A and B are shown apart, each in its own frame.
Chain A
């Protein structure tokens, strides 16, 4: 059965079959449910904020998805499905979206209105809020967002209007077929103006916080745990199965694994390098699923960058000489994808171009690399080539960098000095262009290739290596309005392979342990948007 059809059936089945699981049975699958519907998972760090417009963390977003609900949700497969909006329409020019809100209530009983969304979105863009994610409003292209963030226009000029309590109209500056998918992002979640005004800065404290999600925040012990419990006011409460969701802060991944073994947590991350052993020991609990992030070494093509790297032959030689299979199979060992391009290969709407060196054998790549380097006048018989590779403190980054420098040394005779910096120093050096080569990684904000490809346009704030190609910029622009942007993305990736401003290294997977009695975890969602209400525990 097609996955999305199955999902649709599942949804409709949910709608008819109501609280059948009072009898301890799952309403759709008929599985026997466990008596204790508490899901406990490991969280790496303390929550930075429970405020949707302030939070910047992935782990914080998991919690916000339970406490609040945006216009659009994603299902366990990662498809966009209606959330607070029952349905939506888009105008013919693709610039106006009209969202019809369903009858839903805040956890204090207030109705959820279009005005709540308008309030939250203005708040996100408002310079007075000083949200770090204000740029997301710009990324979505909501009318006037850029000027509001810059303080040139008032927040109430934002292109989001409440036509009536249940109708929200959003105007965007260019057609974006993936726009609804962007609304699963936590920064677009509504907040209750009355509650914010009543409690001020303390509005996110348990007891004060009012949300429209399937769960309410009941307990927060800083640095220890976050507890949320079923919200009886939630519109689809009848279909919520998990009663309590607990996030335990466990910093060390090995201790987290011990506590998983002891049965204290139902889900944790697999410590680096332990995936093969755990997969063998516990095949039904160990998972490696694609995750939308891409790991690269960036070349500095800017004015401070080394002269040699301005030669595309040198850049290609460096990329070809890197044996990704060794890095993925012998260092990371978590099913990661060896990478020859930039965009995560599982991204929706992405078609991989025929990148030549991806199909070669490693011997062929090395032979070609030697040839190119010699042509450029470096390496054996030519000028010696000395480069520096910056990376931030982490055991895995270090191992990969050491392996890479060995490969460059052995295959090409290039001496790469490794420079390890603390995270903030590393970023500072990246931003100021003070590097030769640097480790870099990017995680997609939404499931569409432009979240990756936009990075290497000339004007991108993340293009620290100062790559510039007018053709690339043109394609990026064309993709925004194209009917079939897959073609543009393909060409852009081809340009990246031709110009090689980066060395693609690998693409991420999510390597996790999940107890076999926990069902409904969104393994198939590339964006890893977790909603506790889709999960349940079966009786063992």
Chain B
């Protein structure tokens, strides 16, 4: 097992390297640059700026310098657009926010989605099942860019319970920490929750109809034991393979949540950086997301082995 984990980590290094080089090349291939603006800069001014940021160096030198700074100093460089801040600062500001609402989204989606799926499977073809399935299809059909404005309308304007967006600003903030979390979590969790519910339901049903469960029933085991001890674990395998990448998706943020609910997470930074051609920020967040994806795929693989005794590494 340890050998497997180490092998996977070793494999991650070239993957990240390829990711860096690919993103670097693709990004530079996009037309325009960070300083292409409505207001054309006089050539001398542009030269000064390019010199400051090393954009006038040969392409290979630029990649080389970039890799060197990351490997030896863990420095992703200055932002080209947010010139007061470095990429490290931007990530340090935004990532904790994204991580927070992403984590709670995960908890909420797994608990509610999982419970819905399990109940629906156990009460298959009853009104409870129809309600749960109907709800999850509805939730999946409701994209978060529709959800977010509706939430603000309901919770802020009509009910006046929650601030219409933003993020907790410390003890002096008149609103509570949780009040800022509710809307991002609901907006982001809805579609994940629906997927989890449907996956859990179908995989539960499959397991419940399999031979070993029939055997268990034939032995006269009580329903409770059958479900908790024999059905749940194998039924979770497809759910877990979905949850790994989904978790990365949640904690690396959602541009919709950041844009509509002003949370200040890195989801928005990422998309804005791409539009602004803020090269260093795109690279920094790409690498972060890449590393997290590799990490959580690894976690999923390890979990497999723990859940499914048939899997050996």
Chain A residues at the B interface, C-beta cutoff of 8 Å: 45-46, 48-51, 54, 56, 127-128, 130-132, 134-135, 138, 149-151, 201, 204-205, 219, 221-225, 248-252, 254-255, 258-259, 261-262, 264, 422-425, 427-429, 431, 441-442, 461-462, 464
Contacts and interface: CB of A to CB of B under 8 A. Distances in A.
Given A135-B45, A259-B156, A427 B37 contact: yes
A255 B148 contact: yes
Interface in B248-303: 258-265, 268-269, 272, 275-277
Contact of A428 (B32, B263, B265): B32
Contacts of B268: 223, 251
Given A424-B30, A428-B32, A224 B263 contact: yes
Given A132-B41, A259-B152, A262-B157, A225 B166 contact: yes
Nearest to B154: A258
A222 B88 CA distance: 13
A221 B169 contact: yes
Contacts of B43: 461
Contacts, number: 153
A295 B167 CA distance: 37
A224 B157 contact: no
A262 B156 contact: yes
A223 B45 contact: no
A264 B162 CA distance: 11
B160 interface: yes
A249 B165 CA distance: 9
Contacts of B265: 223
22 contacts: A48-B84, A54-B84, A201-B86, A205-B84, A221-B167, A222-B90, A222-B93, A223-B264, A254-B149, A258-B153, A258-B157, A259-B164, A261-B157, A262-B164, A422-B275, A423-B32, A424-B32, A425-B31, A425-B32, A427-B32, A428-B31, A431-B36
Nearest to A443: B38
The list of the 7 closest CB pairs from A to B, nearest first, reads A424-B32, A223-B264, A130-B52, A428-B31, A259-B164, A127-B48, A224-B264
A132 B48 CA distance: 9
Interface string B81-113: 111111000100110000000000000000000
Given A204-B84, A219-B169, A251-B262, A264 B39 contact: no
A222 B83 contact: no
Interface in B21-58: 30-33, 35-45, 48-49, 51-53
A428 B36 CA distance: 7
B245 interface: no
A60 to B, nearest CB: 10
A271 to B, nearest CB: 11
B234 interface: no
Given A49-B84, A224-B169, A135 B42 contact: yes
Contacts of A422: 275
Nearest to A204: B84
Contacts of B30: 424-425
A252 B260 contact: yes
A424 B264 CA distance: 24
B88 to A, nearest CB: 12
A466 to B, nearest CB: 13
Given A224-B264, A251-B262, A262-B156, A56 B84 contact: no
A461 B42 contact: yes
Contacts of B83: 48-49, 51, 54
Contact of A248 (B90, B152, B262): B262
A134 B164 contact: no
Given A258-B152, A461-B40, 19 more contacts: A128-B52, A130-B49, A132-B49, A201-B84, A222-B90, A223-B268, A248-B166, A252-B148, A255-B165, A258-B156, A258-B157, A262-B160, A423-B32, A424-B30, A424-B31, A424-B32, A425-B32, A428-B31, A431-B36
A431 B40 contact: yes
A462 B43 CA distance: 12
Contacts of A255: 148-149, 152, 164-165, 260-261
A48 B81 contact: yes
B163 A132 contact: no
A286 B22 CA distance: 49
A228 B268 CA distance: 24
Contacts of A224: 166-167, 169, 262-264
Contact of B82 (A46, A250, A254, A431): A46
Given A221-B169, A255-B152, A261-B157, A151 B36 contact: no
Nearest to A252: B260
A534 B134 CA distance: 56
A254 B93 CA distance: 26
A132 B33 CA distance: 13
Given A258-B152, A427-B36, A132 B164 contact: no
A427 B264 CA distance: 28
Nearest to A442: B38
Nearest to A431: B40
A50 B149 CA distance: 30
A464 B165 CA distance: 41
Contacts of A46: 82, 264
Contacts of B260: 251-252, 255
Nearest to B166: A224
A420 to B, nearest CB: 14
Interface string B131-163: 000000000000000001100110011001001
Contacts of B166: 221, 224-225, 248
Interface string B39-80: 111111100110111000000000000000000000000000
A38 to B, nearest CB: 11
A501 to B, nearest CB: 17
A222 B94 contact: yes
Contacts of A425: 30-32
Contacts of B37: 56, 132, 427
A424 B36 contact: yes
Interface string B177-201: 0000000000000000000000000
A462 B40 contact: yes
A258 B149 contact: yes
Contact of B84 (A50, A261, A427, A464): A50
A224 B156 CA distance: 17
A129 to B, nearest CB: 8
Contact of B264 (A127, A134, A221): A221
Contacts of A51: 83-84
A49 B85 CA distance: 8
B48 A130 contact: yes
The interface centre, meaning the residue of B43, B160, B259 with most chain A CB atoms within 10 A of its CB, is B259
The interface centre, meaning the residue of B149, B157, B165 with most chain A CB atoms within 10 A of its CB, is B165
Contact of A252 (B38, B149, B160, B169): B149
Nearest to B90: A222
Interface in B187-243: none
Given A54-B84, A223-B94, A255-B149, A132 B35 contact: yes
A48 B44 contact: no
B44 A149 contact: yes
A138 to B, nearest CB: 7
B163 A134 contact: no
A50 B83 CA distance: 9
A459 B275 CA distance: 30
Given A255-B164, A259-B156, A135 B262 contact: no
A103 B276 CA distance: 42
Contacts of A248: 165-166, 262
A264 B164 contact: yes
B40 A250 contact: no
A132 B46 CA distance: 8
